[in-house]
């Protein structure tokens, strides 16, 4: 595994020259930033601490009269594991497996402390349920979902903060 700042690579992609020549684009527009320290793009009810992710599927806050327009906000990029599991079946599109045959992935529901909300996402390659516990500190990274001849299609993923410190594969 190679960890490069907030970008994560399992080293399985083509040569560095091939990766550099491709344009990195979000697999789904408007859900996250592509900055060095990526953030999820959410919505917030004006005047309240009520958050939504993704913004475009926001429901209503029963305590606020209808007719308000959500403010676009950048959500916290760290949180704690609330729950986790492996996906032993191949998820539906837009997911595209990076291996053939499909290799199970780990998904984590991460609670963002400030927003008091839980966001589900895939974990970076190499993270298994054995590496996580409820309360594990996680950070948001941007990683490749799949590639074609011209582009790398990027998504957000969760990575244990401990992996940033070189402790990949260790619990907690």
Cβ contact 74:81 at 8 Å: no
**16: in domain:** no
**Residue 24: in which H helix or E strand, if any?**
strand 23-26
- Domain membership flag for residue 167: no
| Mode of pairing for the β-strands spanning 71-74 and 78-87 | unpaired
Strand partners, 156: 142
- What band does 171 get if pLDDT is binned at 50, 70 and 90? very low
* Structural domain contains residue 82: yes
157 or 166, which is more confident? 157
Q: Which residue has the tokens 């045959």?
A: 101
pLDDT in tens, 70-92: 889 999 999 999 999 999 998 88
What pLDDT does 44 receive?
87
Domain holding 100, by residue range, is: 2-11+23-60+68-162
For residue 168, count CB atoms less than 10 angstroms from its CB and return exposed for 0-12, middle for 13-18, buried for 19 or more: middle
Name which of 125, 115, 132, 167 is nearest 146 in CA terms.
125
Q: Is the pLDDT of residue 9 over 70?
A: no
User: Is residue 110 situated within a structural domain?
Assistant: yes
Q: How far apart are CA 172 and CA 33, in angstroms?
A: 27
- Looking at residue 8, its pLDDT comes to 46
* Residue 131 pLDDT greater than 50, yes or no: yes
> For residues 116 and 135, is the Cβ–Cβ distance under 8 A?
no
- What is the H or E stretch that residue 82 is in? strand 78-87
Sign of the Cα torsion 165, 74, 134, 101 reads negative
In a domain? residue 18 = no
Q: How many domains does the chain have?
A: 1
Is a pLDDT exceeding 80 seen at residue 119? yes
Q: Is residue 168 in some structural domain?
A: no
Q: How far apart are CA 38 and CA 26, in angstroms?
A: 12
Q: Which residue has the higher pLDDT, 11 or 94?
A: 94
State residue 51's pLDDT score.
Answer: 87
CA dist., res. 5 & res. 107, Å (int): 21
- In this predicted structure, the answer to whether residue 62 has a pLDDT above a threshold of 90 is no
The predicted-structure confidence for 18-40, as pLDDT tens digits, reads as follows 445 899 999 889 999 999 999 99
């Amino acid at each position: 595994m190679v960890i490069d700042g907030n970008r994560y690579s399992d080293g399985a992609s083509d040569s560095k020259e091939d990766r550099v020549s491709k344009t990195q684009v979000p697999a789904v527009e408007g859900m996250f930033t592509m900055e060095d320290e990526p953030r999820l793009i959410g919505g917030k009810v004006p005047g309240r601490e009520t958050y939504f992710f993704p913004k475009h599927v926001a429901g209503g806050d029963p305590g606020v009269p209808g007719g308000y327009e959500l403010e676009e906000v950048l959500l916290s990029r760290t949180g704690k594991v609330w729950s986790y599991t492996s996906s032993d079946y191949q998820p539906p599109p837009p997911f595209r497996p990076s291996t053939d045959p499909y290799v199970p992935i780990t998904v984590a529901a991460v609670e963002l402390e400030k927003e008091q909300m839980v966001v589900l996402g895939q974990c970076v390659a190499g993270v298994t349920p054995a590496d996580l516990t409820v309360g594990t500190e996680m950070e948001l990274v941007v990683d490749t979902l799949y590639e074609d001849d011209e582009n790398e299609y990027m998504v957000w993923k969760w990575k244990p903060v401990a992996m940033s410190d070189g402790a990949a594969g260790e619990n907690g």
